[in-house]
Each structure stands twice: as structure tokens, then as C-alpha cells.
Structure 1
Amino acid sequence: MATGIGIVVIGRNEGPRLERCLTSLAGAADKVVYVDSGSTDDSVQMAQRLGVEVLELNLAIPFTAARARNEGFVCLQRLLPLMRYVQFVDGDCEVAAGWLPKAQAFLDAQPKVAVVCGRRRERFPQRSVYNLLCDLEWDTPIGEAKACGGDALMRADAFAAASGFRPDLIAGEEPELCVRLRAAGWKVWRLDDEMTLHDAAMTRFGQWWQRSLRAGHAFAEGAFLHGAESEQHWLRESRRAWIWGLCIPLTIVIVSALLGWSGLLLLLIYPLQVVRLARRGERSTRENWLQAFFLVLGKFPEMVGQVKFLLNKYGAGKSALIEYK
């Protein structure tokens, strides 16, 4: 039965994760396009064996996930002219059974909603603290939302009218698109339904640091593009990164230089902030403390990401992907 749904899956060297992803989509939509960004494993061949349309990106043009999704959408438009909805999925995610019919029914009943997403869960939160942090991050409030993540069902006409994702963004392209969609009068919604299982595969501190650095870069670019508008997109997140990641440490250094070792007592502001955030948590004691600790620690790589954006924007730097896998 025709659903009017097309699916764009993006990935590179995802291996078994991609196979799980594509298998979970079998028979769920009218057409699935897998956009590959230079895999050196058998991702392309495996997708073809599963009967999926494969689009291999021209890597002579700088790659971003935003560009990959856009090109996948254009391919779907050609293959599926009557497409009404497009589901974007990252290749390291498995789509939950029943998600697409529920999401489609919601959009059918809510003509003012352009984007609907559901619950994204981490597949192996017990394997590392970093996977657990991702799982906690995915647990966001349901109802009307400001943004979605990389997995979401969108109205094809709304996506096309907004000219899709900004292809030059190396991170944070989904919230940026949602800012423009909401400015055009559309709504974004999150349902309390299982949508995807994500496999972050983060087992090392360095991976977490890179991911946090990328978030800081996204905050900076988002604030640059839309921070001056009424909702001040990611302006607060950017300011927090500068305050906690640079301003407070510099203040401590200056005070210590003037007053001696007693100035280092100001470092207590960091554990006090951890305590404050942990006490506000609504999960288990362990999860609250872990999340609070890494939220505070994360301000340092986020600040580095902010600096990286400024160097790329105003200096001799060049935007490049910030990858953690």
C-alpha cells in the first residue's frame, strides 16, 4: 500500500548498524534512499543487496550531514514525485516498528505541524558512561518543541519550501531548520512514542570531548545565524560556554595572581555547580550526578568549539567536520 512516505538514510562505514537500520525500514515506506559519504566498508553493496536506492556523494564537494540529507531528498523527489512526507534517519539508528504509521497519522491530523519526532533511545547505555549520557540527552519533553534531531518525519512540501537544511552547517542543522520552519508558521512536535534506537558507540573520553566540542561549534553558529532574533537561538548556551569555560578560569587566574593561593578557593564554584545541577535532577541519584558532572565539564570543550567557529568565520580557518566516531 502506498504511504506517500520516502526515507533518507545517511551514513559512512556504519557496518552492522546500517544493516539494522535498513532492515528495520523494509516495507515501511514507498522508497528508501541511502546516501553514502565515502564508506570504505561494504555499506554500499549491502544497501544494494537489500534493494535500497544508493546515492554516493561527490566528495570533491565538502561533506556535511546536512548536504547528504538534502541530496537524498532531491533523489526522493525524482523517484517519488507524489511524496508527502520524508523521514530522515541516521545510519546508526534502528527505526521502531510502528513509528512511521503513528507519525504519519499525527501529521495527517495536525496540518500546522511540519516536523514530528518521537523517543530516541540509546541501544547500549550500560556499555559506557558516555553512551548513558547520550541516552539521558535523548530524553526530552513531549509536546510542542523548538527543534528535532537527526531522526524526524517532515512534510515534504514544508521542507522543500524552506530549501531544506543549510548544507554548509557542520553541526546543528536540524534545530536551525526548525527555527526557519517555525518562523514560517509551522510547528514542531515530539510524541511519546518509540522512534529509534541509536548506537553512539562512545567508549572513550576523547570521543565525548569531540562530541561536546562539536556541540559548542553548533551553539556558536546557531547564535550567529539566529541569536539576534526574538527567541535568541542558542545564545544562552553560547554564553554559558564562555562564562564557565573561559571567563571564570581567567578570573581565578587573575585573582590568584593578586591574592596568592587563596584565590584558588574560587575553583569551588565548579563542584558547587555540580551539586546544584545534581539536586535538580529528576532521574536516579547516579544518573543525576553523572549528568551534572559532565554538564559542567562539558563547558570546556564547548568553549573550544566556540573558538573554533570564530577562527573559521573570521580567521584563516576552514570549516571541517568534527567527528567523534
Structure 2
Amino acid sequence: MDDPRPPSHSPVVDAVVIGRNEGARLLACLAALQGQVRHVVYVDSGSTDGSVAAAAAAGAEVVRLDMSRPFTAARARNAGLAEVARRQPRAEFVQLLDGDCEMRSGWVARGLEAFAEDPGVVVVCGRRRERHPEVSVWNRLCDREWDTPAGEALACGGDALMRLGPVLAVGGYREELIAGEEPELCQRLRRAGGRILRIEAEMTWHDAAMTRFGQWWRRSRRAGHAFAEGAALHGVGPDRHWVAETRRALIWGLGVPLLALLAGLLHPAGFLILGLWPAQILRLWLRWREEGRAGLEAAVFTLLGKLPEALGVMEYHLGRLGGRRRGLIEYK
């Protein structure tokens, strides 16, 4: 998927796409990159649905991960970055993209403008939207989660336009992380003097395809694991990376239920402690009531999500004590 080289003074962008068994979503992802990037590296992680052949037919260079080693998205992204650097030694910019996402027309140009305006910026991201928020409450929660303010940010998500040099200089992604690898990378980039910028521009459509409660539960559990590991790695830094998120998961997802149980065993009135849950839901809904139905959904599932998040936090720490690393927690 090589386009004619633009004039030498114009910056060019290469792309790294990662995926496994994304099917038609991968084809849409690769098609949307046509004309916006110079070259596409697709890193496949054990697909069995013909994704490798489809990506090659679409013109992407395919890198197949050795699945005898534990797979993580971070490892796949690093393999793609290494291939871009090998193939294009002078590559300056790289677009990272998940195979279930479709880049919006004009995004690369907007991102490059942001880089040109501020040489200190090392990562630019825009608005990621859920393609089918009408399908389920969990898809709508994803769409809301990604609607973050424009301006300087602490982190990006899986889709982002980056300066390749600074990313390689800090060692790329931390490959052992099963989730939260992008914020962790951004922590190191910022400590090296780089800046993360979110701009008011449409960047990607994403297809979470979450239609079942169990999918949302596993995704939230994975988030809890990421919070705990992120806090363990960078919690003592100036940003207190994910310390508050970890604390909230433990307080609401473990502390309140456990305290209510212990108090209830002493006296039935002790179970009234569980009333803190609806009170917290009400407090959150009042904060977000201008969002209408979306605000109510967010209030309910933000609190309910503390249960699987707390489970993820405990799994991380138990694994750490036992010297074991947790495998992937997948929701699709």
C-alpha cells in the first residue's frame, strides 16, 4: 500500500495496524488508509479468518507475530514500529491504528498541522467515535469514554499519530502490559520532555461490538488490572498515574461491599452501608444530568464497573505476589 512519494519538503506518514480476526472491519480499516499514508504495516496476532491474506491483497506489508510467546497489543505495536523503521529509515511520523477502527478522511492532514504548529508535541490524537452506539448501552459508554476535551493531555489511546523518533528513543511500548500500554508510553514520553495533544478533529470510527453484559464486565476487569499495574509503575510520579483510579476501584468495588458484609454479620442494620452505592449513583447522575439518558447510564455503570475493576486490581497484585503475569483479558 505504497502511494507516490510527495514532494521532499512535505512530511509523510506511515501506518501500523494491529489485529486478530477482524474480518470485514480490517478491510475497511485498510481501505480508509489509502491516499492518507505512504505505507501500511499490518501486524497479525494469530488470525484464523483469512485476515493475513486479505491484508496482503489490500497492499499492506504483513508481519506475523510468533504466537509461541505471550501476545499483547503492545508487542504487536512494537513489531510494527520496528518494521516501519527498518523499511523506512528516515520515517518521521507513524499512525497507530487498531484493526477494528477506520480512520476518517482528512485526519492525517489535521494531525500534521498540529505537529507543525508545535515542535514539542510528540503525539497527536483526535476524536474517536463508536460506530454503532445505538446497538447497546456498552457501546454508548465507549463512545462517551472517548469524548475527552481538546488540549494538552496526559495520554492517548490506541489510535494516535506519533513522531516515530521519540517513541523509539524511549523504547516503544512496554510489551508485557496486557492493557493500558498507551498511557504508560505517554508517561515516559512526557518525562522525556514530549507533549501529548488532543485536537478537535474527527480521527477514527471504532467498532466495539459489545452487545453482552459479560463483554462489558471483562473489559472493566481488564481496566482494573491496567489501573493497578500503571499505578505500580508510575504512581509515585508527578501525575500519580492511575493511583486515584485504583483507589476508587478498591473503595467502591471491594471496600464498601466487604464493610457492609462484616457489619451486617454483627447486626442486620450494617447492610445499610450498601446504601452508599445508590447515593453515589445519584451524586454522579446529578453531575452528568445535562447529558440526559447518557448521563444516567454513565452514573449506573461507572459505579457497577468498580466491581470488575476491583477484581482486576486484586488479580494484578495477587499475580505480582506469586510471581505470575496475567494473560490477556479479551472481551471480543
**Letter paired with 1:118:** G
- 2:313 maps to 306
Residue 97 of structure 2 aligns to a residue in which SS?
strand
- The CA deviation at 1:316 is 5.3
- 1:191 maps to 199
Q: Deviations over 1:135-172 (max 9, x none)?
A: 01010111000000000001011111111000111100
- 1:98 maps to 106
Measure the CA separation in 1 of the matches of 2:327 and 2:86.
30
**Letter paired with 1:299:** K
* Residue 193 of structure 2 corresponds to residue 165 of structure 1: no
Q: Deviations over 1:266-314 (max 9, x none)?
A: 2111011001001101653111110000000000000000011112211
- 2:30 maps to 22
C-alpha distance 61-198 of structure 1, shift in aligned 2 (>3 A): same
Measure the CA separation in 1 of the matches of 2:328 and 2:130.
23
Q: Deviations over 1:226-280 (max 9, x none)?
A: 0012211000000111111111111111211222x22222211101100100110
From 108, 120, 132, the counterpart of 2:128: 120
From 152, 156, 165, the counterpart of 1:144: 152
Measure the CA separation in 2 of the matches of 1:72 and 1:108.
25
TM-score in terms of structure 1 length? 0.98
**Where in structure 2 are the equivalents of 1:3-14 lying within 5 Å?**
3-14=11-22
- 2:296 maps to 289
Measure the CA separation in 2 of the matches of 1:192 and 1:232.
27
Residue 281 of structure 1 aligns to a residue in which SS?
helix
> Paired residues, what number?
324
**Letter paired with 1:303:** A
Identity of aligned residues (%): 53
**Letter paired with 1:45:** A
**Letter paired with 2:316:** F
Residue 204 of structure 2 aligns to a residue in which SS?
strand
The 10-residue stretch of structure 1 (276-285 or 29-38) with the greater mean CA deviation from structure 2 = 276-285
**Letter paired with 1:33:** V
- The CA deviation at 1:103 is 0.2
- 2:287 maps to 280
- The CA deviation at 1:318 is 3.3
Measure the CA separation in 2 of the matches of 1:27 and 1:73.
20
Measure the CA separation in 2 of the matches of 1:271 and 1:192.
35
* Residue 124 of structure 2 corresponds to residue 107 of structure 1: no
- The CA deviation at 1:4 is 2.4
C-alpha distance 280-202 of structure 1, shift in aligned 2 (>3 A): same
Instruction: Structure 2: state its 5+ residue gaps.
Output: none
Measure the CA separation in 1 of the matches of 2:61 and 2:290.
42
Measure the CA separation in 2 of the matches of 1:317 and 1:245.
23
* Residue 75 of structure 2 corresponds to residue 56 of structure 1: no
**Letter paired with 1:208:** W
C-alpha distance 283-127 of structure 1, shift in aligned 2 (>3 A): farther
Measure the CA separation in 2 of the matches of 1:74 and 1:172.
20
**Letter paired with 1:252:** A
- The CA deviation at 1:42 is 1.1
From 266, 272, 295, the counterpart of 1:265: 272
Q: Deviations over 1:62-83 (max 9, x none)?
A: 1100010001000011111121
* Residue 215 of structure 2 corresponds to residue 207 of structure 1: yes
Q: Deviations over 1:16-44 (max 9, x none)?
A: 11011000001211110000000000111
Contact 1:221–1:309 (CA under 8 A) maintained in structure 2: yes
Measure the CA separation in 1 of the matches of 2:247 and 2:259.
16
Contact 1:7–1:29 (CA under 8 A) maintained in structure 2: yes
Residue 201 of structure 2 aligns to a residue in which SS?
strand
From 58, 76, 82, the counterpart of 2:84: 76
**Letter paired with 2:225:** H
